[in-house]
């Protein structure tokens, strides 16, 4: 199923920025290495610079200045071959790889970690920040419709409600083990079972609940994949391509020199 901008905006408007910051800080401890990695990738960008502005600045000032100050055509060519792919991969590659990994993780785990926006019959997938992820999996008592609306929202976002609820605790997992794996049926069964509804509501209401923790770790996994692949491409593939092209040009120049001498 698909989620619209209105659903996400309506839900997120119920939660204050202070709660966002508190939840993000409480979710993980600092001693676990996996948690430290997670905390590192939680460092969200700040400031007004958009991706388009960053691209414009990179091509205008970084690449432009390097081309202008190049000593000869060979250095200019190497700069273009090396820097253009590096800028494109860094700016466009990381988000694209993150989305691709997130899509795989969502399908495998049943957790929604990206925003789906339906428009003109098409669905766009957007990466979201950690506070937003935490808000999605933290029950807000001010949400109209209660736990039914909360679980319906998880369903609309593309999550598998049973899998998400089962991650909350062993107790909840046992309580919903006979519930339907179909989201609509699960929500109906939940509505008709007061005891289970209260257990799930209480579990989701806790700051840093297990579902929120898992969702954040899955997001970190997608970011690590995008970051790692980018390092591989920029650090190994791009320089290798540059060397191959440079060697081919030098061989061709040497061959032309020999032909002229002959």
Is residue 149 assigned to a domain?
no
Range of the structural domain that residue 127 is part of: 5-138+207-261
What's the pLDDT at 36? 61
Is residue 243 assigned to a domain?
yes
pTM over 0.95: no
Is residue 84 assigned to a domain?
yes
Is residue 110 assigned to a domain?
yes
Is residue 175 assigned to a domain?
no
What's the pLDDT at 31? 54
Q: What is the number of structural domains in the chain?
A: 1
Q: What is the mean pLDDT of each run of 10 residues along the chain (262 residues)?
A: 46 45 43 57 52 69 75 78 78 83 94 88 85 93 92 95 97 96 97 95 94 95 86 80 78 77 67
What's the pLDDT at 6? 47
Residues 6 or more apart whose CB falls under 8 angstroms from that of 35 comprise 28, 29
What's the pLDDT at 193? 95
Is residue 111 assigned to a domain?
yes
């Amino acid at each position: 199923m698909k989620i619209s901008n209105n659903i996400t905006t309506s839900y997120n408007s119920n939660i204050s920025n202070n709660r966002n910051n508190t939840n993000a800080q409480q979710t993980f401890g600092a001693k676990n290495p996996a948690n430290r990695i997670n905390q590192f990738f939680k460092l969200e960008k700040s400031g007004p610079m958009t991706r388009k502005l960053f691209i414009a600045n990179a091509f205008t000032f970084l690449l432009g200045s390097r081309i202008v100050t190049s000593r000869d055509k060979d250095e200019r060519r190497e700069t273009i071959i090396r820097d253009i792919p590096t800028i494109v991969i860094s700016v466009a590659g990381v988000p694209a790889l993150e989305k691709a990994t997130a899509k795989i993780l969502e399908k495998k785990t049943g957790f929604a970690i990206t925003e789906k926006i339906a428009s003109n019959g098409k669905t766009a997938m957007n990466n979201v920040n950690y506070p937003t992820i935490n808000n999605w999996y933290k029950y807000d008592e001010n949400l109209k419709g209660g736990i039914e609306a909360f679980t319906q929202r998880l369903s609309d976002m593309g999550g598998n409600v049973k899998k998400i609820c089962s991650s909350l605790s062993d107790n909840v997992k046992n309580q919903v083990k006979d519930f339907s794996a179909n989201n609509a049926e699960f929500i109906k069964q939940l509505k008709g079972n007061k005891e289970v509804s209260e257990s799930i509501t209480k579990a989701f209401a806790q700051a840093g609940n297990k579902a929120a923790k898992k969702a954040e770790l899955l997001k970190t996994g997608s970011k690590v994949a995008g970051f790692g692949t980018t390092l591989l491409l920029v650090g190994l593939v791009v320089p290798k391509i540059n060397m191959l092209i440079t060697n081919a040009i030098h061989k061709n120049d040497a061959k032309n020199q020999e032909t002229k001498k002959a």
